[in-house]
């Protein structure tokens, strides 16, 4: 496609039945290279664009991955040796993330959850800053009208609410009678990598300081459900196994259950040795404790899917009532959001209906 002056008109990515085609116009060939930056597990797939002289554009054609939506960026290399990773200028559809905006390519079959048009999130009822051995843990609690003794605690809670509408999900599910009424405690991560990387001091802080303070302020009791994504999922499992009486249910999304067999690519992470030692101990059955209802979700084409399959199988063999669901997306907050219903809905109902 060209404009009246012969310059190419950017048309953006195109989704076909079996392929995705990306096009970035560069009539003067100012760039020296373009690369697709993504979080899909596409082993052996070349993601370098090629310059097409007839269209004066950089192009890339990929086999269509097994996802319903795809988040990505482009890494642009300049003639002076510099490079920048940015959203796709040909694609106006963006989504925010913990590390900035991403371009989004939706497949024809993708639909957002219907509950997004449901109830507004409850107001903040309580704010706590609990002093612990790993520093103050800040928690904001969203509470429904009336009283309830049930509690859901979310690692990375502010991000879950801002990027995955967790507060709206909670309000809608309670309004519609899908789950019993509950308080939603959004725990801020603080020094996230240090706290959430199977750190015994954080598990102790959560179980012996944060949860007791929440129970005292809110009047909650009974089984607490603890949820988290990525490192937050690892930290949730770690806390439950070290303090099995403190947590009655687990919702773990794309957990960072690193093992050398699958995750050598993560070895630059400063707490990788601690994580792999801990996960190895879990796989060997150490610290099994009390098994609780556990649901894991993971993107079917993300790197963590291999260690999540292994963890789900391990927990099941150790007596945990486990459900594991692979979703057609990758490692991002929208993927985690889209898995809330029915998977988190079902877990909450299972843990609380007869509590």
Domain end position, chosen among 38, 71, 106: 106
Residues 141 and 269 in one domain: yes
Three-class SS state of 344: helix
Residues 142 and 72 in one domain: no
Residues 217 and 135 in one domain: yes
Per residue in 224-257, pLDDT tens?
999 999 999 999 999 999 999 999 999 999 999 9
DSSP letters along 11-57, please? ---EE-SSEEEEEEE-TT--EEEEEEEE----TT---B-EEETTTTE
Q: Is residue 339 part of a domain?
A: yes
DSSP 332: S
The Cα–Cα gap between 203 and 209 comes to: 10
Residues 160 and 267 in one domain: yes
CATH number where 88 lies: 2.60.40.10
Task: Tell me the CA end-to-end span of the chain in Å, nearest whole number.
Answer: 63
Number of domains the chain is built from? 2
Q: Is residue 187 part of a domain?
A: yes
Domain that holds residue 61: 14-106
Residues 241 and 338 in one domain: yes
When the pLDDT of each residue in the chain is averaged and rounded to a whole number, the result is 94
11 vs 195: which has the higher pLDDT: 195
Q: Is residue 336 part of a domain?
A: yes
Domain end position, chosen among 76, 106, 136: 106
Residues 257 and 142 in one domain: yes
Per residue in 299-322, pLDDT tens?
999 999 999 999 999 999 999 999
Q: Is residue 7 part of a domain?
A: no
Q: Is residue 170 part of a domain?
A: yes
Q: Is residue 9 part of a domain?
A: no
Residues 296 and 166 in one domain: yes
Q: Is residue 6 part of a domain?
A: no
Q: What does the pLDDT read at residue 4?
A: 39
CATH number where 274 lies: 3.40.50.1820
Residues 283 and 313 in one domain: yes
C-beta of residue 291 within 8 angstroms of C-beta of residue 316:
no
DSSP letters along 245-261, please? TT-SEEEEES-----HH
Q: What is the pTM of this model?
A: 0.93
Residues 157 and 259 in one domain: yes
Residues in the chain: 355
- Tell me the sheet residues that pair with 220: none
What b-and-e string marks burial along 225-262, b requiring 16 or more CB atoms within 10 Å of the CB?
bbbbbbbbbbbbbbbbbbbbebbbbbbbbbbbbbbeeb
Residues 119 and 71 in one domain: no
Q: Is residue 35 part of a domain?
A: yes
Per residue in 280-292, pLDDT tens?
999 999 877 789 9
Cα dihedral across residues 179, 182, 188, 193: positive or negative? negative
Q: What does the pLDDT read at residue 8?
A: 40
Residues 88 and 169 in one domain: no
Residues 193 and 92 in one domain: no
Give every strand in the sheet of 14-15, ordered side by side: 14-15, 19-25, 57-63, 50-52
């Amino acid at each position: 496609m060209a404009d009246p002056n012969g310059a190419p008109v950017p048309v953006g990515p195109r989704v076909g039945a079996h392929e995705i085609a990306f096009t970035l116009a560069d009539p003067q060939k100012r760039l020296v290279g373009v690369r697709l930056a993504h979080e899909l597990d596409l082993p052996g797939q070349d993601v370098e664009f090629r310059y097409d002289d007839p269209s004066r554009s950089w192009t890339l054609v990929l086999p269509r991955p097994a996802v319903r939506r795809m988040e990505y960026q482009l890494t642009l290399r300049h003639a002076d040796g510099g490079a920048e990773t940015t959203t796709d200028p040909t694609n106006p559809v963006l989504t925010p993330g913990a590390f900035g905006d991403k371009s989004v390519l939706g497949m024809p079959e993708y639909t957002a959850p219907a509950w997004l048009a449901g109830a507004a999130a409850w107001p903040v009822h309580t704010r706590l800053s609990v002093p612990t051995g790993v520093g103050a843990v800040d928690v904001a609690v969203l509470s429904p009208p009336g009283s309830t003794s049930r509690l859901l605690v979310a690692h990375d809670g502010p991000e879950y609410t801002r990027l995955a509408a967790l507060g709206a999900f909670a309000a809608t599910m309670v309004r519609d009678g899908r789950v019993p009424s509950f308080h939603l405690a959004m725990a801020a991560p603080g020094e996230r990598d240090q706290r959430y990387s199977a750190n015994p001091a954080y598990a102790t802080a959560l179980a012996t300081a944060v949860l007791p303070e929440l129970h005292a302020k809110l009047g909650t009791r009974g089984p607490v459900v603890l949820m988290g994504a990525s490192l937050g999922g690892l930290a949730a499992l770690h806390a439950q196994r070290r303090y099995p009486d403190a947590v009655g249910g687990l919702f773990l999304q794309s957990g960072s259950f690193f093992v050398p067999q699958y995750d050598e690519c993560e070895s630059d992470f400063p707490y990788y040795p601690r994580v792999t030692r801990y996960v190895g101990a879990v796989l060997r059955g150490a610290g099994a404790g009390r098994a609780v209802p556990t649901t894991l979700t993971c993107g079917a084409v993300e790197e963590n899917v291999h260690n999540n399959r292994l963890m789900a199988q391990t927990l099941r063999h150790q007596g945990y009532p486990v459900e594991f669901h692979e979703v057609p997306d990758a490692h991002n907050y929208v993927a985690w959001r889209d898995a809330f219903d029915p998977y988190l809905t079902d877990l909450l109902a299972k843990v609380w209906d007869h509590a």
